[in-house]
Amino acid sequence: MLDFTNKTVVITGGGSGIGKAASILFAKLGAWVHIIELNEANAQHAMQEIEKADGKVIAHICDVSDQRQVADVFTKIEVVDVLVNSAGVSHIGKADNTNESDFDRLYKINVKGIYNCLHEAIPLMKAKGRGAILNVCSVAAQTGIADRFAYSMTKGAVYSMTLSVAKDYLADNIRCNSVSPARVHTPFVDDFLKKNYPGKEKEMFDALAKTQPIGRMGTTEEVASMIAYLCSDEASFITGCDYPVDGGFLKLNT
């Protein structure tokens, strides 16, 4: 039902995790996909998967926290129908053991990175008379999660930016929504377990999975499906909303 033929979709962090799954899905749905990615190897792997399936994709190596780099990329893209802000990093720590450099790093990527892309994409959408924006938020924006102080701070900002953009550009026919995943099986999870629980990866993976009321972690493809729907014409009456893709985490945990 979803069709993005002749639409240009820009996805930050499109070379790994949720961003990669979204890049692949949008390409399957007919879009011209522009991946904005810092890691060149990840960008190349995502491009290869899409091209093998006859999808249309271009990769741009870019640090989203650098406004000049972002501006240069969007100047090359020229037209934007959909922007998916998926680039982000996580951090383990509380307020008193999170150092300044880590706090600043998370802000620059998770918050300023989204601002930089909004700053460049919105004028292009206004020129076209329409657009859809999707920010990848987190359940951490709406509930307390242990040892995620800086990460939760950034996702709270993402949630607020989503509402502000949705309100500010109603007259421009630009919609803005967000999705809030809970635990999703991504390379970050595997790296975290390998680093912090060597030899007990499977045991800890199962323990983390069971914290979701549904009994497992989500998949990147499941999150990507919600992203594609919210950016589609079928969702044209939806703006200013956050959708938990969380296996019941926010509402069903007791």
What 3 state SS string does the chain have? CCCCCCCEEEEECCCCHHHHHHHHHHHHCCCEEEEEECCHHHHHHHHHHHHHCCCEEEEEECCCCCHHHHHHHHHHHCCCCEEEECCCCCCCECCCCCCHHHHHHHHHHHHHHHHHHHHHHHHHHHHHCCEEEEEECCHHHCCCCCCEHHHHHHHHHHHHHHHHHHHHCHHHCEEEEEEEECCECCHHHHHHHHHHCCCCHHHHHHHHHCCCCCCCCECHHHHHHHHHHHHCHHHCCCCCCEEEECCCHHHHCC
Please state the length of the chain. 254
pLDDT of res. 192: 81
For 8, 67, 118, 124, 175, the CA distances from 82, given in Å and listed in that order, are: 6, 19, 11, 10, 10
Read off the pTM: 0.96
pLDDT tops 90 at residue 195? no
Residues of the chain with CATH 3.40.50.720: 8-182+220-244
Is residue 165 within 8 Å of residue 153, measured between CB atoms?
Answer: no
Average pLDDT estimate for 107-115: 98
- pLDDT over 90 percentage in the chain: 94
Tokens of 12: 């930050």
Percent of the chain at pLDDT exceeding 70:
100
Q: Which CATH architecture has domain 8-182+220-244?
A: 3-Layer(aba) Sandwich (3.40)
Q: How confident is the model at residue 253 (pLDDT cuts 50, 70, 90)?
A: confident
Instruction: Say whether pLDDT at 125 is over 70.
Output: yes
pLDDT of amino acid 191: 86
Q: Report the distance separating Cα 12 and Cα 185, nearest Å.
A: 19
pLDDT tens, 46-78? 999 999 999 999 999 999 999 999 999 999 999
**What are the residue numbers of the active site?**
151
